[in-house]
Structure 1
């Protein structure tokens, strides 16, 4: 009561913000609308990813960004501090949330993990736009929705509390920001929207409701909460303006697929063989649409006219020798041995010694051809471009000797003509062909093929090539063919990701697909058995030499013991029988996790294939590697990885944030202790004592007119009063204090801070160390010092002017009372 009466008498106001970190009613409304609109915007990625992990990761990012933005605002920090904290969170949690599928130590914030997160943030959009959706929902491309969620939270809450002069602009800014987030997500999506109702009507309704609430709030703040026709008309005009902006923007989520504007329609990625889209992923551009039209379909269009080869010759478009769990694609150095397994710049004459029949071929590209892949036959010996700019094409032309794949990074156009000399090797697969003994590990996530492979080849004997042919026969005899075009066949979607080949193909009640799924699966089966395999996209030249889209097919090449590649024709492993109208039911459950027991391998034959011991050793090694992939860190139990992923990451984030608070206070204390002038050091020491008291929960008055002696009344300390008077005597004394006196004063303040901490419990001391109360914005001080005061105390004169006046009055009274 005395303290309150004293404060009332002196006219001071205590700056107290109880529950400063808890949002008020307006902040809760802004938080709710930001998260709701962020969730709708992130749903635009639904057609690009499988599952719902992308949405969980994105919403978590939005929630973290909203919390960080609110806390920094409550502490009085600038918006850039929220951006910096969110950047740190993005890299620290990016590994555990987005790179779990990579295994090993990718969940830990090491150098490689941070580099991968940064790479996906900068270049991931290219991978997203050049990969046939849907993309694996647990892959590294989750960095994109993670980043989008953080941006959505920052944009929504940051613009919601951005200080602007015009009320209408303050109301519109956050709504426009969230609309921009939705537009960006749609542009990175596909031509088919995830939900027109959600992204169109629901988003527009929420955005207009938020706009109306913020406009009413801003108007009430300006006019004192009174109503007027002018403000009502202004709200109507603002809603009309928002509707006018939303109407043309609705074309982005319109139901006309031909007019939907997405970046995937225009992106032209630079040549990079590791990133370039897999030609196999676009196989459905060559299928019969059965009456429907599509501008990208080339089923009936001429792809190329070939001269100089016999009917039935296989012409190669591209060879794909690497499977990453999403697509089969071309790569450099897929084979461990050959140095020529890379795309190299070559001259007009190519050093490519291969035994076989030499042919001179001329190719003219037709109206249906586009892209960088160059159709060739056999092993090239020379290449000559005849149209366009032959020199420019020759300079960028690259060829892979190991895969016999040619590319022109600048692209080829209809009407281009070129000729080449090639050697056609003997690539026929015969009964005497022995498979290569080179070890080929299964790609990540492809372990689902092991169970079906064992079951389908259990009667095939010991020879690896015999087992490959047995699996091919099972696919041909038990499978059905469908391009997913018919009304009852649309459930058979495109793609050859792990999801499509496992649950939707080999483990489905009925094996149904086209060349894309059959060739991709057959190559994985061969690699699992132990015979290196790769997928080839090309065509069989028909009579007359004119190749159209309907002639395109995909086949598999198997590596023989002599190092050559032998062709496993498409008809050897793919059925042409269409499926029934209704998918047959079965009582035998087969999921990707149910793997039949391995079939014992009989003793080896004398044909020169792998021995039984070699096969068992390779299977044991593969099983061990699969078990290690199940855990996040090799050699440790899987539950440790789970704890590190879902508990360690958030704990690390909390530790970083708390450490930042402690570090910021230590940096502030160092600046105050090492100030340039001794007077500023006295001022800083006293402020350090005040801040420590406030962090301990003591109510210390603040304000431009509050003196140190008045503040000492609110500090629970026996030495606060003497320390306040000593600081005043040095700061406002007739002489500039010495640095030694400031050092001695700091020692007294430090001792008093320790004494104050010793009087409270350990938990209260910990709360004081991480308290944000003393880091808030202080009231403004007067910048000019009065006459006679040291220049260093200019920042302190505002709050001590009243004290100097009272001291001067007391001195005059004493002089009048003194005897003559």
Structure 2
């Protein structure tokens, strides 16, 4: 029976519905309205991804990186539109994107390594390393970093993949909120990479949220007002559905757009006024990733002071120190800062990461600071450290690794392309604090390791009490300690060592041993820590202005020196001088008795053996090989996870099929056989509409061609069987259920015989048939506004009378 909707009274009032003017307006609006919305959605999706990628601004120096990241997003969006326009199958989307990404990285980031447009071996290797290990490289550099190709590999890939996925979701699915997921993933990744910087990412985050909110608003509004077959039906009964939808659209925009803007504004204001965290304890993945730069220090640098003092002088460096072009009053350069003491040796507990041209700045100076440029020419290899002054903030002329805590620089010698230390010339720009008002400064709260002393002897506390009596302020006590140590005679040929035993020999009241800078600096640092002040020992070289020629000082090995530094709030590491090199004494001609030297002589080689075991880490394959190995492990783990997931999908389908075939009444098993056959069609790319009867589905599948045509006879017989079983007043028998499952097996076998092996594998691991069907009218898929590549929801439900519904469940 056909029923007709009652005709509204307005239709009976003459020719009004047929007037040309009112009819023309809705058609014009239908032409450009949905088109504008569809064009806006991909643009907004790409805009959200670009806004999320802008969170990387604190990671890089300058904005030169933004052009490449933006172009990558545009290429990803165009590729997504192209594969949708060409109606590529779903299984081809990821391989196509990976090929385009690899080619884009090759010619976009490593074009200089190509030969007449053809990639060389090193260009291919660099492209592969960037795709596999770019994330590891980004976790092992100082921030902000230079926008080098190896560091841009991951941001370019993220931007490309995010835009590609976002536009695909817009064009090929009906998701609403889900289209914002790629931008959220890019935002989370970029925030994790920049967690080491103490900067707020509020502006790019708000921009991403605002763009994503507008995208969701437009998409939800368009999805509810798409043109379809219902327009013609409404016009036939005299209802101006287009006009009603236009009014609805205006209402949604007027309410939704200000609402979305208000939500973003409230989020921004709430984050600024009531922060949930102050950013001082961020979860930084850089903290848990071990950097590939391992330094073989051998013996503590402090142990190497005496040999250089007593051996013939060797030219090591040519140094020029200047401030705004004029010579600066800097009397020493630092090689290493030793901040860990175990009772026998001072060592460096730093974590070296690769540095760019701009180095991180950690200290805010109360009285200001001078910007000092140090030009260094290395004449001979003198260890693994590079001379610096103050707090380094910029580097030019060489590739180096930096310990951000101590400001120590080492050459990045693990890379074959990096220059050797003796061939290096570089310029390091540093900040040297003004000491105005330092007398009132106090140490800041900080690392407990900077005040730690193991197994403190009793005499250390006694010396600390003497220094504490020298004044009420930290500066007065430290100055009194340095003054008392400068009164000790200086002997460059004194006993070596800087352990508790060596310091006690220097400070004992009866028959004190004469020492040099090694013992003086260590004694100051140990007593300062006993007073509760963070202290360390610096090793470097004195600059003799008397040897300056045109502002250039030649540094000799005999200029080696050591001095203590104390961390004071607002001034950074302040150097003290507890050694008077002019207060020399006559050294004995004969060496002291062996038992007096034994304690320190034994302790120092023991430390050398321990630290030397790390030497192989620096050269074993280099930074690139280590990063590549890590990337290979990650890729292998991901492939294993994919294989396990695929195996789980296959197992779940097998278990479900067995349960459907064996459980329930015959009617339920017949209906289950039909559902299983529909799932097989869906897995092989044949659309199965929910709103059609089994016989209609069978006719559609038979006319689809390809593999489905080979199974048309079996599928038609199964459709007839399930229709009769569900709609018949009599219950089906077990034989009917067995026949239904035999037909299902025949359909599965015929489809597999006509389907290529790759497509069969993809069908076997396709997880979409594991979920229940979504109800959507079949007219939606055929409507003029349907997007290319979209298919109606599959899996029909057998229909029938009350008895049939009861039997089929």
TM-score normalised by L of structure 2: 0.40
